[in-house]
Structure 1
Amino acid sequence: MRTLLFFISIIALSGCSASHYLKREIDRSAVLSQQHTGVSIAKINEKKVLASYQGDKYFIPASNTKLFSFYAGLSALGDSIPGLEYLEWGELLIIRGTGDPSLLHSDLPHSKVFDFLKNRKDQIFFTPYHFENKRFGPGWAWSDYNDYYQAEVTAMPIYGNIARFKGSPAGQYQANPRFWQKSMVQDTTVSGIEREELQNVFHYPKLADSQGITKDIPVHMTDLLTLQLLSDTLKKEIKLINIPLEIDLQTVNSIPSDSLYTRMMQVSDNMLAEQLVLLYATANKLPLSSEKAIAHAIEHHLADLPDKPIWKDGSGLSRYNLFTPRTIVALLQKIYAKVPQERLFKILPAGGKSGTLKNLFKSEQPFIFAKTGSLSNVYNLSGYLITKRGKVLAFSFMNNNFTKPTADVRKEVERILTGVRNKY
């Protein structure tokens, strides 16, 4: 009996010591002293929290929001992405987008949707009737329309809804797709490529960037432009018809789901995350509406989280998003239960090895597999930590409202989590 009580006390002290270590290191940190910090850590498959520091407080998650979009995708999609829905009507083919971002996307595998459309002999019509989103999400910075990370949201993206410019040996820019070459205007007043806000005219400086350097500039998308780009690439005319399709449609799958998840997580691709939320809507027979998709996901898959998520977009660009660290940890538990560890750790950035964690947590074997989340005055890291004893922990370390350099905050997160790895 005494032996049993001894082991119980040791386990209890272990939990207390983890929380004590966390509080001590955060309170003593000169870097973290004037900001808002919240941390929650739990062993995998255990509801009891191992350590917490303001784990029940709400924080702006930035790209940690992508963990919610990832789980929504896991809950609704199979091994392949539904790339296109269509109706055969006599000699006509009527198509509509599913939100799939892979069509002619330079950084994703070749989409089977392209082959399907290329090989059809029918007259093809595209309907955007079911698309209810605006081009930007709630709370996005409209002045960021020219920045690579804020591509517009559409029913059927093409080329990732961006124009890619690459510096050439002649000191000029080459556009991909070539469609945009004619829309470039030399301008001595700009230092980089700047698009006019409401039309696709790209101003560029006299000398291009060094050869091989690429710049991605979001395109101002319309339904007609989508069809222009698609027609130009397919070498056949695609026409617009704005009608509802209230019957069962056939589906063409495009790419493996994991290829989308991995790209989204590794480089923190906002466009892919936004479109993934629309794919969730398609899978649940909803209109293409981020708001309706998120409400559905919360009701049907996330109602058991400790604190209700304030979830507004797919990518985390919106500062309206608010999650607590313990809620993110609960979500990580749900993800881990749904995806085998080997597969999951290939999708997430690995410390010292890949993605946004390539230069952090360096060791012989990665022990951190996690999603970063950064905005101005925001740096978060949430994911999985493998301790020296081989235990897998789910953690969320959230930092908001700091004025010190993000690099300093990042180093403190690295230091404290490395201590958790070594001690527990």
Structure 2
Amino acid sequence: NCSFVPASNMKLVTGAAALLLLGADYRFRTEVYAADFDAKSGAAKALFIQGFGDPSRSERFYETNGAAADALAAELVAHGLRRVDGDLILDDTFFQAKDTMPADWMKEDLKYCYAPRMGSLSVAGNCLKVKITGAARGKKAVVETDPPVDTERFVNHTVTNRSKRGRVSATLKDNGTLVVSGSVRSGRSVSKEYPLRVPALFYGNVLSGALRRLGVPVKGRILLYRKTKTNLESFTRFTTLNSPPLADILAAMQKHSDNFIAEQIVRTVGGGRNGGTTEAGTALISKTMHRSDLAASWFLRVFDGSGLSRSNRLTPDVLINLLSWLYHSNYRDLVLATLATPGGEGTMEKRLVGTPAQGRLWAKTGALRGVCS
């Protein structure tokens, strides 16, 4: 009954609580409203997009992050959208804007995408990957981004020079414009990834670019609703975009040990009850575990949903009780389908392959510095 730091085994707790609180068939939704939409021409004076934490617009659920963005734009086109004459207004207020990550995550982790920022409007796990390749000396380097961004909202400040050590930096401006700077030698490449500080602006840039690739221009600005408080009287519901069911989302979270999905779930749980914060979500997860007699309060401490926090604590007994309860519940087959297996997709792809465990083991891995489970 000694308590330990569970690392990513915490996702087992998050997943179980999500099933109990949201249900296996729960779908994250994104509401889209259009101002003065003309069905004949397909023109909208503006679009208003309201997010509720959908974590599925990424390469976890599509072939690439670009394909995820293209699918998002294609859904709007399928409903008749042909151009946006005004602004793209983004409402990310379902999650509290100041609470984009758990407060006690280690500072050295925050520059990597395994410690992403959370947002009720998100794409590509809120992670931007940038690669610059040197061209002729003195010329701008070639910039590639994953996911692809809007070419009309992108500034290339790179240069090809003789520098032995290339560098690259990316900044997302308040108007949704991405600025990439840096230097690199001719024929060489430099890559870097960035967890985005304002996920909704990133979402707007990527969506605007995906719409443009489908021939649907967005002529206005990218705006955050919480900063502009646009009058919405002329807007009517255009469509609702739904995620895959929670069961599929949990499979991506568990098999790949995806921190972003876990934290989006925590805030979604908190958003429906107490304001979309990490604190609200983890408090409700703890309460759910205790009320279900799956953990005594002194044996379980929940500070995030992914297990990246070193403040999380649980005992082996809590974990065994939880797994036993899941195995004997109506969720048994669903939960087994979410876990990684030797040689299968995710974290067990290269583990225990060709051993007696293959075909008999379902696992959830976990690792932090000094922790392996």
> Is this contact kept in 1: 2:130–2:144, CA < 8 A?
yes
Stretches of structure 1 that go unaligned for 5 or more consecutive residues are 1-55, 381-424
| Pair 221,377 (structure 1): closer, same or farther in 2 beyond 3 Å | same
- Deviation of residue 125 (structure 1)? 3.2
Separation of aligned partners in 2, 1:93 and 1:173: 29
Q: What is the DSSP-based 3-state SS (H/G/I as helix, E as strand, rest coil) of the residue aligned with 2:325?
A: helix
Q: Tell me, yes or no, if structure 1 residue 373 matches structure 2 residue 366.
A: yes
- Give the CA deviation at 1:349: 0.9
Partner of 1:288: 276
The residue aligned with 2:196 is 219
CA offset digits 1:358-395 (Å, max 9, x no partner) = 33334254322111111111111xxxxxxxxxxxxxxx
Task: Using the TM superposition, give the Cα deviation of residue 131 of structure 1 relative to its aligned residue in structure 2, in angstroms.
Answer: 2.2
Kindly name which structure, 1 or 2, has the bigger radius of gyration based on alpha carbons: 1
Deviates more, 1:218-227 or 1:65-74: 218-227
For residues 240-319 of structure 1, the aligned pairs below 5 Å read: 240-242=224-226, 252-282=241-271, 284-303=272-291, 304-308=293-297, 309-319=300-310
Give, in angstroms, the shift of residue 173 of structure 1.
6.0
2:176 is equivalent to residue 178 of structure 1:
no
* Cα separation, 2, equivalents of 1:126 and 1:280: 21
What's the % identity of the aligned pairs? 25
Q: 2:352 matched to 1:361? A: yes
Q: Secondary structure at the match of 2:117?
A: coil
- In 1, Cα distance between the equivalents of 2:110 and 2:341? 31
Residue identity in the other structure for 2:320 = V
2:189 corresponds to 1:208? yes
Shift of 1:318: 0.9
Q: Aligned-pair RMSD on alpha carbons?
A: 3.8
Residues 186-201 of structure 1: pairs in structure 2 closer than 5 A: 188=163, 190=165, 201=180
User: How far apart are the structure 2 equivalents of 1:258 and 1:140?
Assistant: 27
Query: Residue 156 and residue 189 in structure 1: after superposition, are their counterparts in 2 closer, same or farther (change >3 A)?
Result: farther
| Alignment partner of 1:97 is 2:67 | no
Aligned counterpart in structure 1 of residue 2 of structure 2, from 47, 52, 57: 57
Q: For residues 65 and 100 of structure 1, what CA distance do their matches in structure 2 show?
A: 21
Q: Which residue of structure 2 aligns with residue 322 of structure 1? A: 313
Q: Distance in 2 between matches of 1:184 and 1:259?
A: 41
Figure out how many residues of one structure are paired with residues of the other and give that number.
316
| Contact 2:14-2:266 within 8 A present in 1 as well | yes
Deviations, residues 161-188 of structure 1 (Å, cap 9, x unaligned): 1123469899966322332874574694
1:131 alignment counterpart: 95
Letter in 1 for 2:327: Y
Aligned-partner Cα distance in 2 for 1:184–1:273: 35
After TM superposition, the score normalised by the length of structure 1 is: 0.62
Counterpart residue type for residue 6 of structure 2? P
CA–CA separation in structure 2 for the residues paired with 1:155 and 1:117:
19
CA distance in structure 1 between the aligned counterparts of 2:35 and 2:284, rounded to whole angstroms: 32
Where structure 2 has 5 or more consecutive residues not aligned to the other structure, the ranges are 38-45, 63-67, 136-140, 212-216
Q: Is residue 274–residue 313 contact of structure 1 (8 Å, CA) maintained in 2? A: yes
Query: SS state of the match for residue 164, structure 1?
Result: strand
Deviates more, 1:296-305 or 1:268-277: 296-305
Structure 1 residues 103-122: aligned runs within 5 Å: 103=57, 105-109=58-62, 110=68, 114-118=73-77, 119=79, 121=81
Pair 376,300 (structure 1): closer, same or farther in 2 beyond 3 Å: closer
How far the C-alpha of 1:328 sits from its partner, in A, is: 1.5
With structure 2 as the length reference, what TM-score do the two structures score?
Answer: 0.70
Deviations 1:36-79 (A, max 9, x none): xxxxxxxxxxxxxxxxxxxx111111111111221122121442
Correspondence list, 1:368-407, <5 A: 368-380=361-373
Q: What secondary structure, in the 3-state scheme, does the structure 1 residue paired with 2:314 have? A: coil
Supply the distance in 2 between the matched residues of 1:195 and 1:334 (Cα, whole angstroms): 46
The offset of 1:108, in angstroms, is: 1.3
For the structure 1 residues 117 and 379, does the alpha-carbon distance in structure 2 shift closer, same or farther, using more than 3 Å as the test? Answer: same
Shift of 1:306: 3.5
